[in-house]
Structure formats: C-alpha cells, structure tokens
Structure 1
Amino acid sequence: MESPVQPSATLKRTPFYDFHRALGAKIVEFAGFEMPVRYTGDVREHVCVRERAGLFDISHMGEFHVEGPGALEFLSHAVTNDLASAAPGQAVYSPMCRPDGGIVDDLLVYRFEDHFMVVVNASNTPKDFEWLLDYCPADVELEDRSDRTALLAVQGPKTPEILQGLVPDEALDLGYYRFMTGPVCGVEAVISRTGYTGEDGFELYFEPRHAARVWEGLMSAGNRLGLEPVGLPLEAGLGWTVKFGKGDFVGRDALLRQKEHGLKRRLVGFELEGRRVPRHDMPIEAGGRALGRVSSGTFSPSLERPIGMGYVESGSAQTGTALEIRAGEARLAARVAPRPFYKGGSRRA
C-alpha cells in the first residue's frame, strides 16, 4: 500500500503536478518527487493503455546533455551497448556497469548529429551524473538538464491517431527506437518512438514552460479516442545489450568472465496459481531448497493472474520449472514463464 505524501521541502514536483491534483490523482512519494500513482484505478488504467491510450507524466526521469569531440568515445566507454553503430536519430538502450560488472543503472542514449542525450532513471539521477562525471574527459561537456526538461509519454494502440495533426507526419512513420526533433502542439520537442508498455507509443521531451500547452493539446485531441491520464508505469536478461566486440568499456572484463564461466543466477519471470501477489524479497524455493528471491510482483489484468520476477540459480531458470514462493508460512505455487509475459501489444518493430 502506498503511503500518502507528507509535505516536505525536499520533494520535487513535475510541471504537471497541478493537473494531477485537479484530476484527483492519488499522489505518492516516488524517487524524490510527488507523483501520481493512479487516477481511477490500476485495472482501468491498465486496460486503457492496452485498448486505447494513456498519458504518462514521466518528467521525474533524468536527462544529461553530452557533447564535444570525445563524446562518442566517452559514452561508449561508460555503457555496455554499441553506440558507434547507432545513426543520428536513433536511441540505444543500455546498462551502465561498475568495474565488477554490477549494474549502476539502465538508460537510453539518444544520438543527435552533434551531441547525445542520456536518459536515466529518476531515483538514480544524482548518482548517475556523478558516476559519469568521474569518467568525463576534458574534451567533453556533461550537463544535467533534468530540471529543464518535461517528459510525457503517450502509450497505446490509439497513439498515432491521437497525434495526427499534433506532430509532423514523418514523426508517425518513425521506427521503434527512432526519434526526431519537431513541433508537438506547436512546441519544439524531441519526438521519440519509445516506451516500456508493450504498446505503440511516443515519448515527448520539451521545455517545462510549455507544459500546460502540450498537456491540454494532447488531452483535447485524445478525448474522442479515449485517451486518459494514467499513473506511474513500472519497468535482466540484458545480455543482448552487452557488446564485447565494440572494444573496452567499464565492467567488460568482469562481464566477459561471467560469460566464459557461466552465470550462477538468472532473472526469470514466473506465473502463480491462485490470486495472491508475490512481493519483493519473498524467498523462491523448489523442493524446500532456496533458489533466490523475488525482485518484483504484481497482478496482471491482461493475463488475469499474478506474475513476478526474481533471480534464481541458473539450473532452475528453464521455462516450466516448478517453483514455490514463500509468503510467511504460506507456499505459493508458481512456474517459470517466458518473457515478455504479454505478447499482444501494438508496439511495432
């Protein structure tokens, strides 16, 4: 259960806070911000995104501007994925690792003609900036522009229809993980065909002073198509984002050793019988033997059953493996399930 926000001088607000309050959203503390966790209810908002479209305020995310002669080399060393092969107008998803191979954060890197934009998770913004600053050479300018960036995501199968007339026609033809700069509701923005809902959608970056114009423009255009404001979206099997062949990067040696010697643990998804939802840190067992712990869990309205994720011993990571989730004295029956859990989304490659 979420705790209601207590007044605090340390909590930040996004440029859309007054809209959230006026629409009756439940506000909670999240990553140092007062954020809307829901408006009408989790299931209704879930169905809205699956069937029509939802409008997410994700302005709590962090944005760093990177430019200079050594910008590409610097970022290529900082993240595990291959940025050199990305063309201008392409976004790249990647972990950023410590020397021991552990993940500092997962992030998006947007490659422009003359600079890069790095988008990081809200709770990690200060830590990520300091981490990058430690590696930043003299010929690279690294600037935190988080407080100067508003970010809205429109996600769901009706998104392209909603955005018709609000963005340039060529924006609607962008491929997945491609972006461009252009007007949104008459405001200059970065228009990116990205998102984590499994549905088609766009993320829109622009200056906070235009927040009201863009919010109201989107809601007005989307009203007849069922667009609704919705609460916070939730976000490893990330081997595909680690490019050993690109050259050196932070954590490469440790990750290469893991690849050569085999992983002791793997992140798996699992589905549960019954209705009880698995919670973070619940033990995962099989035959009374400890295998790992739950990292996250929820009830899936689309699948009509509880689902979860967790790290288990590699030998128990195969699809169909029977598991038990220990919830106090109770044992919840579960099976390893293939990911993604939901495969019916409108997202296009």
Structure 2
Amino acid sequence: MSDLRTTPLHDRHVALGASFTDFGGWSMPVRHTSDLAEHHAVRQTAGLFDISHMAEFLVTGAGAAAFLDYALAGRIGAMKVGKAKYSLLLSDAGGVIDDVIVYRTGEDYFVVISNAGNRALVAEAFSERAARAPISAAFVAGSPDVPEFFGTVVGADAARIEDISDQVALIAVQGPRAREVLTATDGIDGLNPALADLGYYAWSAGTFQGASLFVARTGYTGEDGFELLVPNDAAPALWDALLAAGTPLGVVPAGLASRDTLRLEAGMPLHGHELSDQILPAQAGLGRAVAMDKDDFVGQGALAAASADLPVLVGLVSEGRRAGRAGYAVFADAEGGEPVGEITSGALSPTLGHPIAMAFVPSDLAAPGTELFIDVRGTRIPATVTALPFYRRNS
C-alpha cells in the first residue's frame, strides 16, 4: 500500500489497530475492531468515521449558481444560504458520472463534495463544462492555502471552480447520539446556527480551536448525524476531541465495512454499484434529483429522449443466512431460464438479521412482492422484491 494516499488521520487509525484497504487509491480503515460492533454502534449510539478521502470543490463568483445549474441535474440556484442539496453530475448521454452534495455557504459561495474515486472525473467534467457553460466560468488548480468555506463574492457574472480536496479533512459522526457528542466536544465554538437549531441537510459555521469549522447535518448511514470539514492541520486534534467526548457515550471509531452495510440498509446508492455513467437517474430511483424543467443542463436532452423500458433498481429480501453479493445473477424462476438481472450490493443485514440486496431488474418484475431468485454459488435462493429503504430510523 506504499503508493496509496493517506488521510491526515492515518496515524490515528494505525494507533487504534485498524485494518486497511485500498479504496479509490487511498489507504482507508476498513475496520477498527469488528464490522458488526461498529455497525451496531452507529445504529444504537454513534460511530466516528474518517471520510477525508472525499473530494471537495469550491464554486464561487456571481455566476456560481448559474454554472452549477448548468453543470448539475438539480436546481441549485434556488437553494437558500445555509442549506444542502443532493444532486447528480451527468454525462451528455444522461448517465451518472457521480452523485454529490452541494452546500450553499454564501450568496455566491458553494461547496460541492463528491466521491473520492471520482475526483479526477468530476474535476475534468467541471473543467470541460466551464469551457462551454452559458456564463463565463473557469476551473483553476487548488491553492495550497487553506480555503475560505464561507463568503460572498461581489464581481462580474462569472464563476470560479477550485479543487480544494488536498487542503481539507472530513470527519463524520453518525448515530442517534451524534449531537450529544458534538455538544460535549471541547474546542468547538461559535456554531451558528446552534446544533439544536440545525435542520437536516443544513450546515452551521463555527471554529475548532481557532480553525474554521463547517458542520453539516448530512450523512451516509441512514442515521442522524453530522459531517465536519476542517483544514488538514486541525483534523487530528478534532478527531481526538470527538473520540474523547464520544467514548463515554458508547461511540466507537468505524470503518468502511460498517459504512457499507449501513448505507445498504438505508437503500443509499454507491457509485460503481448502483450508479454509473451507464445508468440513468430514473433507473436508480433518483428521478426526483433531476430538474427536467430547467432551461438547460448537461444530459437534459438525453434524459428527455430516453426509453422508459429500462431495468430499474429494486430491493430484495430473503430468508436464512446466505446473502447475494454484487455480481450475483437474479432469475425469474427457481430452475432454468436466463438471468433477468444482477445484484449490485448485498449483505446479511446486521440490523434486520436477514439477507438484503439491491439489483437492477426489468420494470415488469419490479413490483413489491414479486418473487425472484438469487443464484448464490450455484443455489437459487428465493428473494422478494421490496420497496427501498430496508431500514428507517425511528425519528
């Protein structure tokens, strides 16, 4: 793993005895203790995740909103300052290059967070779109300076897109006690709005030991929680402070293995599994993330012309302990016949106690209650189509 990138928290994970894996070119902790323990901690108390491998882009200028409306599928310009929005970066053919979260941190300031493995693709797409956007826009290389997360730009009708991924770290606190953890963390000051007043898919500005701190009430686990963006230099001390505050509450460091089973239970798509540049948003159940009535955005024409008779994403539940995994074939019959679909993600659900999976199948087999069969190492296991998500938190 010597050629892999490491996050500013790598030494903390080593000290905690974590096991590592190659994830998108990064050496990332897959677990610190056990997958099940970390999964259950997030569902019952909270887990602490290092997600500093994610990519961040700062989009600023009086034309920033117009540029993002053109570059992304969602209606970004209508967002209020202080809010966040899930959106999609589409290819000209309408496929999903990446799914992102956009935060409006000022009238002319936006932070866009994308998946680590797609950083280069997103940067390339933003750069290319800046060259052909209906407003003046320019993609620039990241500055070595710590970026300003918030502000208002006064100037010409133009946009500036900057990759700030190398300057910042991202830590997630996820679970029903996440807010208690942040409230008890020494060094976090001046959050505005206060955590108690922070709505879902909204953010708060503050400081940690004097460093700029961005706290968003977002996550990827199906639980309530927060994601904290800080300059790299402040990340180790913030991790230590969060862990010190959380340990008495039952909070544990968590890795990618539990993050994957948590997001699967919550029915959240993962790029490279449920999303790709060959999958249209509607196929993955993400039609709501596309504002087809916008004047113009990349991929709009292809989506308007797309066939309605395409495979769609469904949830599958089965009994026993044998779970379908990514790549396993799905059949309509217990014996014979050709595959009708393929598992994209699957696992034995730690929370629910039975196998769950997501798969693309023909639309005429997608109704909840439809019986299908998963080929698990040569044995066809009955599976029932169910509405996503598999799990919802109580509040």
Please give the root-mean-square deviation of Cα atoms over the aligned residues, in Å: 1.5
- Show the counterpart of 1:3: none
Once the two structures are superposed, the pairs formed by residues 1-349 of structure 1 within 5 Å of their partners are: 7-9=1-3, 11-113=4-106, 114-136=108-130, 137-138=137-138, 139-166=158-185, 167=188, 168=191, 170-184=194-208, 186-232=210-256, 233-234=259-260, 235=263, 236-258=284-306, 261-287=307-333, 288-346=337-395
TM-score (norm 2): 0.82
Aligned partner letter, 1:53: A
**Structure 1 182/46 Cα, relative in aligned 2: closer, same or farther at 3 Å?**
same
Deviation at 1:37, TM superposition (A): 0.4
Deviation at 1:289, TM superposition (A): 4.2
- Show the counterpart of 1:4: none
What do the CA deviations read for 1:38-58 (whole angstroms, capped 9, x no partner)? 111111111100000100000
Aligned partner letter, 1:302: T
What SS is found at the alignment partner of 2:58?
strand
Distance in 2 separating the partners of 1:200 and 1:77: 31
What SS is found at the alignment partner of 2:47?
strand
Is the 2:175–2:224 contact (alpha carbons within 8 Å) kept by the matching residues of 1? yes
Deviation at 1:345, TM superposition (A): 4.8
Query: Which segment drifts farther, 326-335 or 311-320?
Result: 326-335
Distance in 2 separating the partners of 1:18 and 1:49: 23
Deviation at 1:197, TM superposition (A): 1.0
What SS is found at the alignment partner of 1:132?
helix
Percent identity for Structure 1 against Structure 2: 43
Distance in 2 separating the partners of 1:244 and 1:251: 10
Aligned partner letter, 1:273: E
Deviation at 1:69, TM superposition (A): 2.4
Which contiguous aligned blocks of 4+ residues in structure 1 show a shift greater than 6 angstroms?
none
Distance in 2 separating the partners of 1:19 and 1:70: 41
Deviation at 1:185, TM superposition (A): 5.4
Q: Which runs of 5+ in 2 are unaligned?
A: 131-136, 139-157, 264-283
Deviation at 1:329, TM superposition (A): 2.0
What do the CA deviations read for 1:321-346 (whole angstroms, capped 9, x no partner)? 11111234211211111111001354
Is the 2:68–2:77 contact (alpha carbons within 8 Å) kept by the matching residues of 1? no
Query: Which segment drifts farther, 31-40 or 280-289?
Result: 280-289
Aligned partner letter, 1:317: A
Distance in 1 separating the partners of 2:78 and 2:65: 11
Distance in 2 separating the partners of 1:226 and 1:151: 21
Q: How many residues align?
A: 337
Distance in 1 separating the partners of 2:316 and 2:87: 24
